[in-house]
Amino acid sequence: MFTGLIEGVGRVLALEPVGGDVRLRIGVGSLPFADVALGESIAVSGVCLTVIEFDATSFAADASTETLALTTLGKLAVGHAVNLERAMRPTDRLGGHLVSGHVDGVGRVLSVHDDARAQRWRFAAPAALLKYVATKGSICVDGVSLTVNAVDGEGFEVALIPHTVSHTAFASTAVGDAVNLEVDLVARYVERLLSAKESQ
């Protein structure tokens, strides 16, 4: 599990095809990395990946065909900036919201507008996901826990404070770019409980 609070911005160093899927090598950039361990989980732009090897400045992780098909990872280029977060520990503060690292779908940046010192970002999202998005609820975009300001039939809007823009890959994200989306876990479970009750 993750919190959606980005710990560092890294870069894609290599994408190596291996047996039909892809092995990524990620430069950790500013991510605290001194005590990394084999097998631990790191969210890469919101996608939970398992560390299979590492050195002092990078780690490798395999992305399955499912992951490549449902996220933006398969379309990244070498040098692309990625948001990084190591898995939370039971003693960590939960400053964002509970994030699984299991991406629900891919959205797209529709617009970015200044709003005083903040920025208003509008994202398109698949209709199948928008039913889980609520005003003042939480959503995870490229691994970042954000509060929804508005939602309609095409997408949703959030406000990014200067700290969020400067400390995440949003600093190099542009209108038209694809983003990974993970809806709030609570919305998923509420729907499942209601549908199970209706089928009884």
The three state secondary structure string of the chain is CECCCCCEEEEEEEEEEECCEEEEEEECCCCCCCCCCCCCEEEECCEEEECCEECCCEEEEEECHHHHHHCCHHHCCCCCEEEEEECCCCCCCCCCCCECCCCCEEEEEEEEEEECCEEEEEEECCHHHHCCCCCCCEEEECCEEEEEEEECCCEEEEEECHHHHHCCHHHHCCCCCEEEEEECHHHHHHHHHHHHHHCC
pLDDT for 150:
97
pLDDT for 135:
95
**Structure-block tokens of residue 56:** 């002092």
pLDDT for 92:
79
pLDDT for 96:
80
What domains does the chain contain, in order, with CATH numbers? 8-86 (2.40.30.20), 105-193 (2.40.30.20)
- In the predicted model, residues of the chain with pLDDT beneath 70 are 197, 199-200
What confidence tens digit (pLDDT) does each residue in 75-91 have?
Answer: 999 999 999 999 998 87
pLDDT for 190:
81
pLDDT for 200:
67
pLDDT for 122:
98
pLDDT for 97:
86
Residue 144 carries which side chain, given as an amino acid letter? V
Q: What is the pTM of this model?
A: 0.91
